[in-house]
Chains A and B, each alone.
Chain A
Amino acid sequence: MTYNIMTCGVGGQGLMLVSNILGLACAEYGLNIRTAETHGLAQRSGSIYTHIRIGERVFSPLIPYGEANVLLGMEAIEALRYIEYLKPNGSIILNNYIWYPVQSTFERVKNPETEYVSTEKILKQLQKVTDKIHVINALELAKQAGHPLTSNVVLLGALARSENFPVSVEQISKIIPRVVPEKAIDANLKALTLGFKVG
């Protein structure tokens, strides 16, 4: 069985940490994993994604269209941008957050009556592909966990709740202390638990 996870967001949201934690967990617990990441342009605010594939028969680093079991959108616009990867009726973990692209502001300056894209409008489109959408207020939970920058780990917790997810939340929690700064371990573990509860 191959399990495909498409994750996406905006540069600076901490997407790499999610695939890194899953990779380390897979290495630790004997699973085959392959990820394809966006690197290269070092600047913030670009559209970024990571393909994560777990399973014995995984060779391609890229998920084919329509085969991701789950799509993790750390930002709503980006979730829709990579929707072609999701299985019909696959599940979506959607962060209730929009990072307006500068280009949209550019359009609004030219004509202030044009509107930014809303989460609602994006949800409507996503619902045409699946009804399994979990909208999560990651920032709120991250603040509850003790640090607003743990949104990514909140979402990882929610991801771990997905049906047939190959890595357990306990396994993930054992990896976290290895990859986050010491003073941030508690907040990240709490973020993981909070995310798992709502996932």
Chain B
Amino acid sequence: MISDVISEEKTKAFLFCNEAIVRAALESDVKVVAFYPGSPVSEILDTFFQISDKFDIKMEVATNEKVALEIVAGASMGGQRSLTALKSVGLNVASDTFFSLGYTGINKGCVLVFADDPYCHSSQSEEDGRFFAENSYIPMLEPTDPVEAKEMVKKAFVLSEEFKTLVLIRTTTRINHQSTVVPLEPLDRTEFTPSSFRAFNKKYATVGSKARELKSKMLERRDRIKNAFEDSRFNNITEGELDHGIIVSGVSYNYVKEVCSRLEINPPILKLGTTYPLPTLLISNFIENLSGVIIVEELSPYLELRVKALAKDTNPDIKIYGKESGHFSEAFEYNIPIVFKAFQEIFQIDTKTDYNAILKKRNELKTFLPVRIPVFCPGCPHRVTFWALNRALAGKSNKIAFINDIGCYSMLLLNKDIYNKMNADDLLLAMGATLGTGSGISLAAEEKVISVIGDSTFFHAGLPGMVNICNNDEDVIVVVLDNSVTAMTGQQANPGTGYGPSGVPKHKIIIEDVLKGIGFENIVITDCFDAKSSIPAFKNALEKRGPSIIISRGPCALWNDRNKRKRGEQIQPYYVDNSICRKCHTCMRDFYCPAISMEAESSQYIDLNNKSWQGYSSHISNELCDGCGVCSIICPYTNHKQRSENDVIKPYKQQREVRHDL
């Protein structure tokens, strides 16, 4: 918790890994931090967001990861210690600047934490970012748990200043999203005093002949770092008695340790923490007298291929087990059962433990279990926008191409059956890609293109695509889903939110002003919670040729609830009067709010003309309803403009407290 992250007295605390990383940066006297949120590192931003003012740290929530990296690189060149953190695909965005930084180096300690996401828990691809380090000649450390993550971040600042280079900390989701008891050291913060960029008299320009000169220096720097890494405390050998050893890095080290004790085997283990440049002498010495070595690493065979190359000179007959031998997969995360099975096979151990059999047997108990895929929250503006769009598309579903993008609205693709007019699983690539791919489809195909993009994504990677659409007069409808925050990663502020770290007001960027400035003429702004008002806007756009913009505006429900709680407001839930519900199921069939379910018992309603309706009413959960009231707008038997007792869906008599965990 935050109080432990900033504690001056404690010597240890139970910390989430992302908090431990923040603590390490604080103990390292970091002065400038900048981020764009992305799971699994968003909480590094969130933690700094709450504390930066307490420590006089300059913090920015940047427009995207490239800008964030440039901010911290610039701050380092300007003379201050700095840090950024981003997710795997965020490093793709930042990569242009990143590669140049390999050449130019930096000045004061500059650390980049990047997190890969094996299993794609919250990413569009399962990248192995370790290749970025090798390709850029930028050193990389890989922790095995939160304790080591904290130690490595501190060491990274030191290495960064010693070798005048950016230093990478590479984590994975299971490292970032882990908590344990972490030792704390004194904060020893110094006062922020502006430095002088010119006083350092260093050059950071790279192009042509300058780049060629820097390349040789960079190679020479790589060799010096490699020599230093040969003795790094982050690489350690556990002596063993078997002739087969293990080389391992990252979270897998924990699985290896537990599996060895479960199988009661004692192989020598080389745990690598400095994974670029690799300590090749250490590795060669380790494998020299072994008859076999097992490489345990998630994702690509990064270590495996290098160990193979080293073995060619050191110990060509050694057997190497890993991905290429078929014992481990390049896909998804590892765990104890996966490592156990591979070791059992390689070390030929008979054991009664069969994790796969347990999994298979228990899965047989679940055959009827319903899926619970992520859906929009109760009160979410996106559900309303897509309800209206689905309505506007009646009869047109085969004549449109719906292009999705990255954000909460990505979840549409998991709910494609519900919003069936859109074929929402047709296309989704990367941040902002909805615009370029939409333009391409409009050039190539006859369908009318609808590209959706969130407000944060619009600022992050949407601007070039928008300029392109306007410049080329593309026949594309762009729906900007403006919920005021970067919702998916935890409702962080973005350029359109209007405030920054510690709630300090920021110059708010107005999306429609940006679009007008670019030159768009057809811009319609709708209040998405006035659900029916958006339908004509969508219909008009579908009839037009050329670019149309619809900004569908309404705050993120979770963010809005948190603001309500701060203001002391309550939630006004709705309920279904099932004594007069006509069992038409419109609210369920068309809206799919998690707060609405179907009654278990069938019931009957007979009206004054003796017309009768028999069936299952819908039911609104009082505790889940967020009070957006949209179900009462779409209910055919409710007049939301002039509410009365005759309405089927009505405001509940009592308001409800906003949850305190927000």
**Roughly how many angstroms separate A179 CA and B594 CA in the complex, as a whole number?**
28
Question: Quick check: A105 and B596 within 8 Å, CB to CB?
Answer: yes
Instruction: Say if the beta carbon of B642 comes within 8 Å of chain A.
Output: no
The smallest C-beta distance from A147 to any residue of chain B, in angstroms, reads 9
Interface string of B328-367 (1 = CB under 8 A from A): 0000000111001000000000000001001100110110
Known contacts A40-B122, A60-B336; A80 and B558 CB within 8 A of each other:
no
Question: Quick check: A64 and B362 within 8 Å, CB to CB?
Answer: no
The smallest C-beta distance from A196 to any residue of chain B, in angstroms, reads 22
Question: Quick check: B362 and A129 within 8 Å, CB to CB?
Answer: yes
Interface string of B1-32 (1 = CB under 8 A from A): 10100000000111010000000000000000
Question: Quick check: B365 and A129 within 8 Å, CB to CB?
Answer: yes
Instruction: Say if the beta carbon of B411 comes within 8 Å of chain A.
Output: yes
Contacts of A112 in B (CB 8 A): 585, 598, 602, 615-616
**Roughly how many angstroms separate A26 CA and B12 CA in the complex, as a whole number?**
11
Question: Quick check: B417 and A105 within 8 Å, CB to CB?
Answer: no
Known contacts A10-B372, A19-B179, A45-B372; A105 and B588 CB within 8 A of each other:
yes
Question: Quick check: B592 and A102 within 8 Å, CB to CB?
Answer: yes
Instruction: Say if the beta carbon of B370 comes within 8 Å of chain A.
Output: yes
Question: Quick check: A61 and B178 within 8 Å, CB to CB?
Answer: yes
The smallest C-beta distance from B379 to any residue of chain A, in angstroms, reads 9
Instruction: Say if the beta carbon of A168 comes within 8 Å of chain B.
Output: no
Interface string of A138-156 (1 = CB under 8 A from B): 0000000000110000000
Contacts of A59 in B (CB 8 A): 145, 253-255, 257-258
Contacts of A99 in B (CB 8 A): 594
Question: Quick check: A26 and B372 within 8 Å, CB to CB?
Answer: no
One of B1, B377, B596, B597 near A20 (C-beta < 8 A)? B1
Contacts of B415 in A (CB 8 A): 102
**Roughly how many angstroms separate A65 CA and B358 CA in the complex, as a whole number?**
7
Question: Quick check: A34 and B178 within 8 Å, CB to CB?
Answer: yes
The smallest C-beta distance from A140 to any residue of chain B, in angstroms, reads 14
One of B43, B253, B597 near A100 (C-beta < 8 A)? B597
The smallest C-beta distance from B659 to any residue of chain A, in angstroms, reads 6
Question: Quick check: A104 and B122 within 8 Å, CB to CB?
Answer: no
Question: Quick check: A33 and B14 within 8 Å, CB to CB?
Answer: yes
A residues 30-81 in Cβ contact with B at 8 Å: 32-47, 57, 59-62, 64-66, 77-78, 80-81
**Roughly how many angstroms separate A42 CA and B557 CA in the complex, as a whole number?**
11
**Roughly how many angstroms separate A112 CA and B601 CA in the complex, as a whole number?**
10
Instruction: Say if the beta carbon of B660 comes within 8 Å of chain A.
Output: yes
Question: Quick check: B180 and A35 within 8 Å, CB to CB?
Answer: yes
Question: Quick check: B355 and A65 within 8 Å, CB to CB?
Answer: yes
**Roughly how many angstroms separate A83 CA and B488 CA in the complex, as a whole number?**
29
Question: Quick check: B336 and A62 within 8 Å, CB to CB?
Answer: yes
Contacts of A172 in B (CB 8 A): none
**Roughly how many angstroms separate A42 CA and B594 CA in the complex, as a whole number?**
15
**Roughly how many angstroms separate A194 CA and B597 CA in the complex, as a whole number?**
30
The smallest C-beta distance from B256 to any residue of chain A, in angstroms, reads 9
Instruction: Say if the beta carbon of B292 comes within 8 Å of chain A.
Output: no
The smallest C-beta distance from A71 to any residue of chain B, in angstroms, reads 11
Question: Quick check: A61 and B251 within 8 Å, CB to CB?
Answer: yes
Q: Which of A32, A100, A180 has the most B CB atoms < 10 Å from its CB?
A: A100
Contacts of A44 in B (CB 8 A): 377-378, 558, 594
**Roughly how many angstroms separate A100 CA and B594 CA in the complex, as a whole number?**
8
Contacts of B12 in A (CB 8 A): 27
Contacts of B359 in A (CB 8 A): 65, 84
The smallest C-beta distance from B228 to any residue of chain A, in angstroms, reads 28
The smallest C-beta distance from B556 to any residue of chain A, in angstroms, reads 9
Question: Quick check: A62 and B335 within 8 Å, CB to CB?
Answer: yes
Q: Which of A26, A105, A125 has the most B CB atoms < 10 Å from its CB?
A: A105
One of A40, A77, A104 near B40 (C-beta < 8 A)? A40
Instruction: Say if the beta carbon of A166 comes within 8 Å of chain B.
Output: no
Contacts of A35 in B (CB 8 A): 178-180
**Roughly how many angstroms separate A108 CA and B589 CA in the complex, as a whole number?**
9
Contacts of B43 in A (CB 8 A): 39
Q: Which of A46, A65, A77 has the most B CB atoms < 10 Å from its CB?
A: A65
Contacts of B310 in A (CB 8 A): none
One of B179, B372, B487, B598 near A46 (C-beta < 8 A)? B372
A residues 108-152 in Cβ contact with B at 8 Å: 108-109, 112, 115-117, 121, 125-126, 128-129, 148-149
**Roughly how many angstroms separate A181 CA and B43 CA in the complex, as a whole number?**
21
**Roughly how many angstroms separate A125 CA and B369 CA in the complex, as a whole number?**
11
Contacts of A45 in B (CB 8 A): 372, 374-375, 377-378, 594
**Roughly how many angstroms separate A25 CA and B592 CA in the complex, as a whole number?**
40
The smallest C-beta distance from B124 to any residue of chain A, in angstroms, reads 13
Q: Which of A40, A103, A179 has the most B CB atoms < 10 Å from its CB?
A: A40
One of B336, B417, B659 near A64 (C-beta < 8 A)? B336
B residues 417-432 in Cβ contact with A at 8 Å: 417-418
**Roughly how many angstroms separate A181 CA and B530 CA in the complex, as a whole number?**
35
Question: Quick check: A40 and B257 within 8 Å, CB to CB?
Answer: no
Instruction: Say if the beta carbon of B526 comes within 8 Å of chain A.
Output: no
Known contacts A36-B177, A181-B660; A116 and B372 CB within 8 A of each other:
no
Instruction: Say if the beta carbon of B265 comes within 8 Å of chain A.
Output: no
Instruction: Say if the beta carbon of B371 comes within 8 Å of chain A.
Output: yes
One of B1, B336, B370, B598 near A103 (C-beta < 8 A)? B370
Contacts of A149 in B (CB 8 A): 659-661
The smallest C-beta distance from B358 to any residue of chain A, in angstroms, reads 4
Question: Quick check: B376 and A83 within 8 Å, CB to CB?
Answer: no
**Roughly how many angstroms separate A37 CA and B370 CA in the complex, as a whole number?**
22
Question: Quick check: B181 and A26 within 8 Å, CB to CB?
Answer: yes
Contacts of B362 in A (CB 8 A): 65, 83-84, 129
**Roughly how many angstroms separate A77 CA and B597 CA in the complex, as a whole number?**
15
Contacts of B589 in A (CB 8 A): 109
Which residues of chain B have a CB within 8 Å of any CB of chain A? 1, 3, 12-14, 16, 39-40, 42-43, 121-122, 145, 173-174, 177-181, 251, 253-255, 257-258, 261, 335-337, 340, 355, 358-359, 362-363, 365-366, 368-378, 380, 408, 411, 415, 417-418, 487-491, 558, 585, 588-589, 592-594, 596-598, 600, 602, 615-616, 623, 659-661
Which residues of chain A have a CB within 8 Å of any CB of chain B? 10, 12, 14, 16-17, 19-20, 23-24, 26-27, 32-47, 57, 59-62, 64-66, 77-78, 80-81, 83-84, 99-109, 112, 115-117, 121, 125-126, 128-129, 148-149, 178-181, 184
A/B interface sample: 19 pairs, CB < 8 A:
A35-B178, A36-B174, A40-B177, A41-B122, A41-B374, A41-B488, A60-B254, A60-B258, A60-B335, A62-B336, A66-B355, A103-B373, A104-B597, A105-B598, A106-B417, A108-B616, A109-B585, A109-B588, A149-B660
Question: Which 9 residue pairs spanning A and B have beta carbons closest together?
Answer: A40-B122, A59-B254, A40-B39, A84-B362, A23-B14, A27-B14, A64-B336, A66-B358, A44-B377
Given contacts A59-B255, A77-B372, A178-B1, 12 further A-B contacts (CB under 8 A): A34-B180, A40-B40, A43-B377, A43-B380, A43-B408, A43-B488, A45-B594, A81-B369, A100-B597, A102-B593, A116-B598, A116-B600
